[in-house]
C-alpha cells in the first residue's frame, strides 16, 4: 500500500504550519529546498528511527514532501511546485524566514 499524500488542492494551511512548527522538520524542508530529493537516511543524523518516521509522516500529510520508495530506502522530495500552486509565495517566505538566525 502506498503512503498517503494529499492532492495539491487538498493541502490544508493549518497542516502546513503544523509540519513547520518543529525545528527538525523545518531543517529538513530547508535541506530539501537546497539539495533536491534526498534519501531519508541522510537527513537528521542521530535521531531515533521512530522519531524520524513521525517527522516524515507529519511532513508528508501536511503536503510538504513526497516520500517514495527508491530501492530499499525512501527518498524525500519537497513539493515545491504543488505548494507554490496552492499557496503562492508562501514557501519562499518560509525559506527566507528559516535563514534568520534563531535567538541565542
Q: Which residues bind a second copy (CB under 8 A)?
A: 9-18, 20-23, 26, 86-90, 92-94, 96-98, 100, 102-103
102 DSSP assignment? P
Which CB atom, from 32 or from 74, has the smaller least distance to a second copy? 32
CA dihedral 86, 88, 92, 93 (to 10 degrees): -110
Residue carrying the nine cell digits 524520524: 52
Instruction: Return the number of the residue (72 or 99) whose C-beta is nearest a second copy.
Output: 99
Minimum distance from CB of 58 to a second copy (Å)? 11
- Selection from 14, 10, 26 nearest residue 100 by Cα: 26
Judged by CB, which is closer to a second copy: 16, or 32? 16
| Shortest separation between residue 71's beta carbon and a second copy, angstroms | 33
Smallest separation, CB 70 to a second copy (Å): 29
Classify 55 in phi/psi space as left (phi over 0), alpha (psi -120 to 50) or beta.
Answer: alpha
Amino acid at each position: 500500500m502506498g503512503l498517503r499524500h494529499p492532492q495539491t488542492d487538498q493541502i490544508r494551511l493549518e497542516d502546513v504550519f503544523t509540519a513547520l512548527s518543529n525545528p527538525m522538520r523545518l531543517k529538513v524542508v530547508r535541506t530539501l529546498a537546497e539539495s533536491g530529493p534526498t534519501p531519508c537516511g541522510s537527513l537528521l543524523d542521530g535521531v531515533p528511527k521512530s522519531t524520524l518516521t513521525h517527522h516524515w509522516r507529519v511532513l508528508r500529510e501536511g503536503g510538504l514532501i513526497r516520500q517514495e520508495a527508491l530501492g530499499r530506502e525512501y527518498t524525500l522530495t519537497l513539493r515545491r511546485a504543488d505548494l507554490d500552486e496552492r499557496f503562492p509565495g508562501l514557501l519562499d517566505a518560509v525559506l527566507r524566514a528559516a535563514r534568520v538566525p534563531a535567538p541565542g
